[in-house]
Amino acid sequence: MGRRTITHVSDLILMGLTDSEDIRLVLFTLFLLIYLITVLGNVVMILIICPDSQLHSPMYFFLSHLSFLDLSFSTAITPKTLDNLLTSNKHISYLNCLIQMNCFVFVGVTECVLLSSMAYDHYAAICNPLHYPVVMSTRRCCSLVFGSFLTGFMDTSVNVLCLSKLHFCDSSVIYHFFCDAPPVLALSCSDTHDIEITISIFAGSTLVVSLITIAVSYASILSTILKITSTSGKQKAFSTCASHLLPVTVFYGTTIFTYVKPSKSYSLGQDQVVSVFYSIVIPMLNPLTYSLRNKEVKNALSRVLQTRKSFKKLK
C-alpha cells in the first residue's frame, strides 16, 4: 500500500531527546541552567561593550554581534526543547517548525561568516599591526558584519524556497529535538535529491569560504608568531588567538559532522548529541571563553559594577 501524499501538514511531532521521565527531568534542569547562563552571559557582554568607549575596537565590535547571534541561536532552540522535556508537549505547528528552522539557518550561516571575519581581524592585528587602523576601519568592520547578515539572509531565502516545494505523507514525526533540515528532508516523501544539492551548494560554499579564510588567517598568524623573539609577545599573541580558536573549532567541527553528509544517513542518536553542543552549549561557552580570558572585558565589567555601587551610594 502506498502512503497518502499531502502537500501541507498543520502539526508535527518532535520526538525529543528521551522518553525516560527521570532523564527528561535531569536534562531539563541542565538545559535550563545552560540557557540562563547563555542569556546572562551574552546580554552582559553586549551591555558591557556597547556603552564602553574603551571597548569600541573592531574585536569587540565583532564580539558584540557574536553575542547577539549566540543569544538568538539559543533562544530559537532551547525554549521549545525545555517545554518538550518538562511537559512532554512534542507537538509543534508546521509554521513554527519552519520559523525555528530558518531562524536556526540564518543565525548559523551568519555566525560562520562572522567567525571568519574575526579571524581576519586577528590576522590584521598580529601580522600587520602598523596598518591595522587602516585595514580594519570602521567602514570595513561594518561592511564585514553587514556581509555576514546578508549571507545569512541569502542562504535562508534559498532554504525557504527549497522547503516550500516539499510534499509530506501521513508521517509527521521528526526524529530530533528541534526542526532541522536533515530530519525534515528525511520526513518528506518528495524526491529531495535536487533540494539537497541546492542547499548543499549554498551552505557548503559559505562553509568552505569561511574555513579557507580562517585557515589562511591562522596560518599567517602562526608564521608571524613563530618569528617573535619575545616570550611574552608570543604568549600574548597565542592567548589572543586561543579564545577565538576554541569556539571556532567546536562550532565548525560539530557543524561539519552533522551536515556534510546525505540526509538519508541521518542518525538520531549521534546527530542529537552533536546538535546539543552547537545549538545549546556553544552559545553559552562563547561569552565565558572571551570574557574569562580577556582582561579588558574584566576591567570593563569592574567599571560597570563600581559605577553601580557609586550610584547606589549617591541615592
pLDDT digits (tens, 9 = 90+) for 189-234: 777 788 888 888 888 888 889 999 999 998 898 888 888 777 776 7
In a domain, 4, yes or no: no
Of 32, 13, 36, 34, the closest CA to residue 24 belongs to 32
Q: Are 244 and 122 in contact (CB under 8 A)?
A: yes
In a domain, residue 248? The reply is yes
* Domain count of the fold of the chain: 1
Residue 253 CB-half CA count within 13 A: 9
User: DSSP string covering 190-216, please?
Assistant: S--HHHHHHHHHHHHHHHHHHHHHHHH
| Structural domain includes residue 3 | no
pLDDT reading at 133 higher than 80: yes
The answer as to whether 5 is a domain residue is no
- In one-letter notation, the amino acid at residue 287 is P
What is the model's pTM? Answer: 0.85
Q: What is the CATH number of the domain that holds 120?
A: 1.20.1070.10
Answer for the pair 135, 124: CB distance below 8 angstroms, yes or no.
yes
Q: Is 31 exposed, middle or buried (0-12, 13-18, 19+ CB in 10 A)?
A: buried
pLDDT tens profile 179-199: 888 888 878 777 778 888 888
> Each residue of 19-68: pLDDT tens digit?
788 888 999 999 999 999 999 989 988 888 887 777 778 888 998 899 99
**Nearest CA to 176 among 282, 9, 17?**
17
Residue 158 is assigned to a structural domain of this protein: yes
Give CA–CA dist 291/72, Å, rounded. Answer: 19
Mean of the per-residue pLDDT values of the chain: 81
Expressed as residue numbers, the domain containing 92 is 11-309
Identity of the residue numbered 215: A
What is the reported pLDDT for 308? 57
Handedness of CA 278, 66, 80, 165 (dihedral sign): negative
In a domain, 1, yes or no: no
Q: What pLDDT score was predicted for residue 34?
A: 93
Q: Is there a domain that residue 315 lies in?
A: no
What cell does 276 get? 546539543
Any domain includes 62: yes
Give the confidence band of 2 by pLDDT, cuts at 50, 70, 90. Answer: very low
